[in-house]
Amino acid sequence: MLHTVNKSPYEKGSLDTCLRLAKQGSTILLIEDAVYAAITGSSLESKIRQASKQYEFCVLGPDLKARGLDEAKLIDSIRVVDYGGFVDLAVSHDRVQSWL
């Protein structure tokens, strides 16, 4: 299953709940305000690094760029995808679940 998360982890529990309930081996794509979770040096970094052992993390590049976030500062286990990559992820997984 592909999970998308679009809320800032500092404002909403969407990412927390996704991490709590997504099955091991799932892919988690951070989009919109959830891209703030992908950056190093935050209070969340160790949590995301820990979760990276169980899940494949991706982040939507255009949403990082829009927010002035530098790809060089991404947590290294997170892969950047563009819109085409988002589509590829959606079709390569049997289902998509959007955590709002």
Partner 1 sequence: MCINRRAPYGTIYALEGLEVVLMGAAFEQDISVVYLDDGVYQLKKGQDTTDSSIKNFSPTYRALASYGVEKLYVETESMEDRGLSEHDLIVPVKMISGAELTELMEQQDVILNY
Q: Which of 21, 66, 87, 91 binds partner 1 (CB under 8 A)?
A: 21
Residue 17 in the binding site for partner 1 (CB under 8 A): yes
Contacts of 5 (CB under 8 A, 6+ apart): 14, 15, 18, 28, 29, 30, 31, 34, 37, 99
Size of the site for partner 1 (CB under 8 A): 13
Residue 50 in the binding site for partner 1 (CB under 8 A): no
Q: Which of 20, 87, 63 is nearest to 37 (CA)?
A: 63
Chain contacts with partner 1 (rule: CB under 8 A):
1, 13-14, 17, 20-23, 95, 97-100
